[in-house]
Structure 1
Amino acid sequence: MKGPRFLLGCLLALGLAALAQATDPKAQADVNAMLWKPYEALRTAKCGHTPDDGFSPVADLSLYSDGGEAAKKLDQEVQDGRVLKQKNYFSLFNPRHREEALMFFDVLMHCKAWTPCVINNAAYFRKNLNEGVFIYGVYVSVIHHPIADGLILPPLYEVTPHMFTNSEVINLAYTAKMTATPGKFTMGYTGSQKNPEQRVAYFGEDIGMNVHHVSWHMDFPFWWQDSYGYHLDRKGELFFWIHHQLTARFDAERLSNNLDQVDELYWDRPIYEGFAPHTSYKYGGEFPSRPDNVRFNDVEGVARIRDLMVWEERIRDAIAHGYATAKDGTIIDLLNDKGVDVLGDIIESSSYSPNPVYYGALHNTAHTVLGRQGDPQGKFKMPPGVMEHFETATRDPSFFRLHKYMNNIFKEFKDRLAPYTYEELNFEGVSIESVNIEGSLETYFEDFEFSLMNAVDDTAEIADVDISAVVKRLNHKPFSFVVNINNANAAPVSASARIYLCPRRDNNGVAFHPNIGRWGCIEMDKFWTELVPGSNTVVRKSSESAVTVPDSPSFAEIIEKTDAAVASGAATHGMEDLSRTCGIPDRLLLPKGKEEGLEMVLMSFVSDGTTDHTDTFEVGGHYGGTHAHCGIHGQKYPDKRAMGFPIDRQITDFRMTGTVTNFKNTIVQVYHKKAE
């Protein structure tokens, strides 16, 4: 379940009622109805609360905590015909599209209660806003509004299947619908065996990975302002950490498939890998392709390549100087644990950036520039590319090259920081005796089926037929980490445990230097435990990892359980623990590995938990399951240490680190079992 949130100041008095209301299955039924077949007329019979057909957003301004200012603004846009028309594509990177989505979000965020405010506004604006604008506004509102705490959002790949599915499969789905014939269609990955990148397409095109990426950017949107209700703690550092982890995981997949680690992008060199998405918008045509070896071109109305190079130079200059300059001229020291948070806000650039005019928006602009390289001057009126949607960006190999480029900027910063001292690393009296694996580190491919019902046009008068796609996806056998720790202290101690899986050798079999290999480490888990005096055996299941989430229930399952709860009058639908979708899918915790075994280093570290805890921390508390990469809504990140501690900084004295007893390296093998 999502962690507690700081309520908007004007909603404090309504806190208990709001949280109680979020467990009402009727509110879940409303969410289901609003997102079911979103390109068609709302089927009000599916709603838990019947919307008022004659509702006007501005008729009763007492419904809102802002006096209806947001509602008046958006409704005026609708009345003036200024909003994006329906049956058009939506892109968050389009400034006007984003403005409309945020106006809608602002209306919902200022609703004091679910009924009549949220449900009626959702029903009203579903009819009057672009479908993509509406869907995005609903998702971020349910994620962030305190009165939606505990509600489940259906998986995006079943709400907007076009963004996750090949065009060939969509065409087959339409044929099945028109002939009223149920269909189950196998979906392959893009490209052919002539393309080496095809070997790792299963990772970048994994629909669970796609959902994780877009969910993180909904949990931590670059446009967020604290006036929406709370501060997104360490947002800039989280931006660095989750994208660093995506590139580290991608490199591990490449090693698993005998490929070199991904190279970074260079603005003055060609984009070596082209990409053909084989994907279509619901409305707006095919996603554009990009041939091999395209040189970067300026994108009309967006940016010149030299702008990006200037921004990069200014950011690297700030790193070299050890400080950034705020827009008012204030000097911001970067050479401390908080510096990476500032740097992350600058590079993204989010609304938290201290000086967006000077440092620009390197990340966001680069996504748009990459997405437009197939038609940089708009000569052919091509729609946005896959890099201009968080749902589809990881499908393009250039995504990982872009983030390796940014990752190296962050590494440059981290290498400017002083190495950790013995005192910072040592946990007096505590030693890790051994680390073992219970079970086996073994991966395999399995079939996964998801619904395409929302992909095809429909009417209420025509009965639905089951239409679905089947795709191969990576999974692994369950396993557990068994950590044997000795506490030589006379009293129990609180410990923070961190486990990383690191590459040992490159694609040529050459061992990585520790300062190189550490930067490719995958965070496997981070948790807290109490150590009694003497021997302790800590068992941590792979399913308990703080970086992963289980599979989302299907849209059909959510509807079925919700309807059953509504019919029985139950206080809950029993799925609240699945309300968070931000996190690496459980099944992708391990890299694919090799049949003969991929040699990796399991790096385990325990430190003094009392120095790591924030002031709101409780040992044994529930932190939303994926706090390592996704934090906790409305609260401080539960760990004071830098993300990636203790391997985020370079190591200069290996004799010193070798004497730290609360640190253990174990050689392991990750095996892949081919289908028989």
Structure 2
Amino acid sequence: MRLLILCALVAAAAAWPNFGMMADSPGGVSDAQKQHDVNSILWKVYENIRDPHLTELSNSFDPLSGHYDDDGVSAKKLMKELNEHRLLEQKHWFSLFNTRQRQEALMLYDVLEHSTDWETFAGNAAFFRVRMNEGEFVYAIYAAVTHSPLTRHVVLPPLYEVTPHLFTNSEVIQAAYKAKMTQTAATIKSHFTGSKSNPEQRVAYFGEDIGMNTHHVTWHLEFPFWWDDAHEDHHIERKGESFFWVHHQLTVRFDAERLSNYLDPVDELHWDDMIYEGFAPHTMYKYGGYFPSRPDNVNFEDVDGVARVRDMLILESRIRDAIAHGYFAGRDGSVISIRDSHGIDILGDVIESSTYSPNPEYYGSLHNTAHIMLGRQGDPHGKFALPPGVLEHFETATRDPTFFRLHKYMDNIFREHKDSLTPYTKENLEFSGVSVNDITFSNRLETHFEEFEYSLINGVDDTTEVEDVPISARVDRLTHNDFTVKINIANNNDHEVLATVRAFAWPKYDNNHVEFSFNEGRWNAIEMDKFWVKLSPGENHILRSSKQSAVTVPDVPSFQTLIDKAEEALASGAELHLEEYHSSLGLPNRFLLPKGKSEGMDFHVVVFVSDGTKDGAVEGLHESTTFNHYGCHDGTYPDNQPHGYPLDRRVDDERIITGVSNFKAVDVKVYHVEEEH
């Protein structure tokens, strides 16, 4: 698994190799050529293809003549739908939560995923690019590039530069159109939605951050709820547990940002209570109108064709009942126990619900249906024929503050299950002969806002007769100064040991400056890092840069940078090196630290070192940085311990965990440096 424009040059087109001539990557075509083709197929996706060779392929390629590992079944199915005019028209909104639209996008995904050579993959991409709905096409390409062995080294361009409408305020898009019409280069300042009279405005920088939006949609591309083992080449281990953990981490990070801004932690949403916070998205579809708004203080209404409010209450009660009993009932009536460390995985599959759910007919799809229910509250009966709301797109969902209320509600359900498990004992937690003696930081922990610029070229209509002028948006985004953590660990054994180092942090005080108990704090713990290391006998001094964190990734290069690098590699015949970006499955590195406060905000930092031999599910973790924090490329998960271990279970007596030598805690302040005017 990985992370996570092109107005094609004539020289680049001439450089197109004969298929099979270059065999330095799966499919017989160079990584540079594949990167070039993916760039080209996603560039100006609402316009005509600009690359000459792909344009020719879009007219001449026959999908039924390609090479597939499913005997062409997927290609025949999609071609039948196309020829019988059943596919969604172009220039129409697309939502993955729309069942039919998702099915169509996945038809193309199946065709690409079953392609066994690059000629077939690229030919299908070009052919269907000009015949399918653009939103369905983009989703299928991103999903296929994420999962196909043919595209293992291809880096997807940032979605906010492919479909800028989903990430950019409408007033900025309108200004971009003006710049295009007048052929005037422009850099347009974008502001967060709302006003200072809305307290939620204080944390809009978190939910509306384009890196955060990209992280959310990337995770759901890597771990799609529609993934079906019967049609894929592997099982995704612990997918339900990862669903719990990634959203748990978004929720606790959001609460830390709220405390940084003198707000209380977010309250959970209730189906039989008001939705207190309204939301005006200030965003628009490329085609289909504006995203619907929602006023303050509205009660949930039934949504025609989706679900009734009472349906949601019934599903919730069935899931809570299963937690209380300690088991789910399978489709066949079997009893599926969840009273162990693997129960969270089943619960996550049920709540989402993914195809891995053992009984979706009975337990429903709480998460996915809730997103639609909440997204449609602006027009629940379809009276105004409004398009889907922001909650119905992974790209836009976190913009709405109720996203976090919704996930706090689900997080509390997960906590009910976790708190039902037996707490860890001292024997569970000890790592014989190993002690963490000291934790220090290289410098003061500081955050600040920086300006970030991204291209809007793909957001405006185009014609080959008029040259592009540079048009970009400039946004403020949270970041922090780099820092290094030094951890001193003593190995008192007479031999080398493999260790897993786990680091967490949580705000020390609530908004009333009351200190969190250890049990409350550990549930609100932000995962900072996890890595494996060999400990030599004696003292070990481990230095870990903030840039190395396993939970974060660097920014994806701009679309133009990816184009330039692919062109340079093709022109020179050199290999394309984008290894740093092969995995994009993580938070932006600059979000590792919460914002903090100008006077300093206290955080409790804990480091726990456990037996890496018992923890490691794959070999070589101490010397490899290529494994993904949420899993390896073949779907296996590298850690045998649960997400959040050892803080994932309730702590009735904190001395049990703080008393072992392989656990260490320190307090540290995070300072926010205000911008000087």
2:246 is paired with a residue whose SS is helix
Equivalent residue number for residue 157 of structure 1:
160
1:382 is paired with a residue whose SS is coil
Mapped to 1, the partners of 2:671 and 2:30 lie a distance apart of: 43
Equivalent residue number for residue 392 of structure 1:
396
Equivalent residue number for residue 226 of structure 2:
223
1:601 is paired with a residue whose SS is strand
Mapped to 2, the partners of 1:492 and 1:635 lie a distance apart of: 30
Displacement of 1:412 after TM fit?
0.5
Say which of 621, 626, 629 aligns to 2:624. Answer: 621
- The AA in structure 1 aligned to 2:60 is G
Unaligned runs of 5+ in 1: 4-15
Question: Quick check: 1:537 aligned with 2:544?
Answer: no
Mapped to 1, the partners of 2:473 and 2:175 lie a distance apart of: 10
Mapped to 1, the partners of 2:534 and 2:523 lie a distance apart of: 29
Deviation sequence 1:252-302 (CA, Å, 0-9, x none): 000000000000001111011000000000000000000001100000000
Mapped to 1, the partners of 2:363 and 2:400 lie a distance apart of: 26
- The AA in structure 2 aligned to 1:168 is E
Report matched runs for 1:78-93 at 5 Å.
78-93=82-97
- The AA in structure 2 aligned to 1:145 is S
Report matched runs for 1:142-221 at 5 Å.
142-221=145-224
1:178 is paired with a residue whose SS is helix
Decide whether the 8 Å contact of 2:58 with 2:130 is kept in 1: no
Decide whether the 8 Å contact of 2:532 with 2:621 is kept in 1: no
Deviation sequence 1:572-611 (CA, Å, 0-9, x none): 2211321222210000000000000000100110011111
Equivalent residue number for residue 54 of structure 1:
60
- The AA in structure 1 aligned to 2:46 is Y
Say which of 436, 440, 451 aligns to 1:436. Answer: 440
Determine what percentage of the aligned residue pairs are the same residue: 56
Equivalent residue number for residue 71 of structure 2:
67
Report matched runs for 1:92-491 at 5 Å.
92-115=96-119, 117-226=120-229, 227-491=231-495
Mapped to 1, the partners of 2:177 and 2:584 lie a distance apart of: 29
Deviation sequence 1:11-41 (CA, Å, 0-9, x none): xxxxx97537475211111000100000011
Deviation sequence 1:629-666 (CA, Å, 0-9, x none): x3222141100001000010011233332320110110
Equivalent residue number for residue 654 of structure 1:
654
Mapped to 2, the partners of 1:311 and 1:152 lie a distance apart of: 39
Q: CA RMSD in A?
A: 1.4
Mapped to 1, the partners of 2:379 and 2:315 lie a distance apart of: 23
Mapped to 2, the partners of 1:655 and 1:349 lie a distance apart of: 38
Mapped to 2, the partners of 1:464 and 1:106 lie a distance apart of: 35
1:53 is paired with a residue whose SS is helix
Decide whether the 8 Å contact of 2:166 with 2:284 is kept in 1: yes
Mapped to 2, the partners of 1:23 and 1:635 lie a distance apart of: 25
Say which of 20, 31, 42 aligns to 1:24. Answer: 31
Mapped to 2, the partners of 1:518 and 1:150 lie a distance apart of: 38
Equivalent residue number for residue 39 of structure 1:
46
Displacement of 1:623 after TM fit?
3.0
Decide whether the 8 Å contact of 1:444 with 1:474 is kept in 2: yes
Decide whether the 8 Å contact of 1:151 with 1:576 is kept in 2: no
Change (3 A) 1:2 1:392: closer
Mapped to 1, the partners of 2:471 and 2:291 lie a distance apart of: 23
Equivalent residue number for residue 578 of structure 2:
575
Mapped to 2, the partners of 1:655 and 1:22 lie a distance apart of: 58
Decide whether the 8 Å contact of 2:105 with 2:136 is kept in 1: yes
Equivalent residue number for residue 664 of structure 1:
664
- The AA in structure 2 aligned to 1:378 is G
Deviation sequence 1:79-130 (CA, Å, 0-9, x none): 1110000000000000010000000000001101011x01111111011100
Displacement of 1:530 after TM fit?
0.8
TM-score between both structures, scaled by the size of structure 2: 0.95
Deviation sequence 1:396-442 (CA, Å, 0-9, x none): 00000000000000000000100001111011111111100112210
1:481 is paired with a residue whose SS is strand
1:228 is paired with a residue whose SS is coil
Question: Quick check: 1:510 aligned with 2:527?
Answer: no
1:516 is paired with a residue whose SS is helix
Mapped to 1, the partners of 2:479 and 2:655 lie a distance apart of: 39
1:290 is paired with a residue whose SS is coil
Mapped to 2, the partners of 1:632 and 1:250 lie a distance apart of: 27
Report matched runs for 1:602-617 at 5 Å.
602-617=605-620
TM-score between both structures, scaled by the size of structure 1: 0.95
Decide whether the 8 Å contact of 1:419 with 1:651 is kept in 2: yes
Displacement of 1:52 after TM fit?
5.9
Equivalent residue number for residue 19 of structure 2:
none
Deviation sequence 1:158-198 (CA, Å, 0-9, x none): 00000000000000000000000000000000000000000
Mapped to 2, the partners of 1:160 and 1:394 lie a distance apart of: 17
2:475 is paired with a residue whose SS is strand
1:364 is paired with a residue whose SS is helix
Mapped to 1, the partners of 2:631 and 2:646 lie a distance apart of: 19
Aligned length: 656
Unaligned runs of 5+ in 2: 4-22
Mapped to 2, the partners of 1:101 and 1:644 lie a distance apart of: 34
Mapped to 1, the partners of 2:356 and 2:253 lie a distance apart of: 28
2:336 is paired with a residue whose SS is strand
- The AA in structure 1 aligned to 2:50 is R
Equivalent residue number for residue 12 of structure 1:
none
Question: Quick check: 1:549 aligned with 2:556?
Answer: no
Decide whether the 8 Å contact of 2:94 with 2:101 is kept in 1: yes
2:274 is paired with a residue whose SS is coil
Decide whether the 8 Å contact of 2:504 with 2:525 is kept in 1: yes
Decide whether the 8 Å contact of 1:182 with 1:465 is kept in 2: yes
Mapped to 2, the partners of 1:22 and 1:262 lie a distance apart of: 50
Decide whether the 8 Å contact of 1:475 with 1:587 is kept in 2: yes
- The AA in structure 2 aligned to 1:646 is P
Change (3 A) 1:547 1:23: farther
Mapped to 2, the partners of 1:335 and 1:383 lie a distance apart of: 42
Displacement of 1:513 after TM fit?
1.2
Mapped to 2, the partners of 1:378 and 1:42 lie a distance apart of: 36
Report matched runs for 1:553-568 at 5 Å.
553-568=557-572
Decide whether the 8 Å contact of 2:244 with 2:348 is kept in 1: yes
- The AA in structure 2 aligned to 1:651 is V
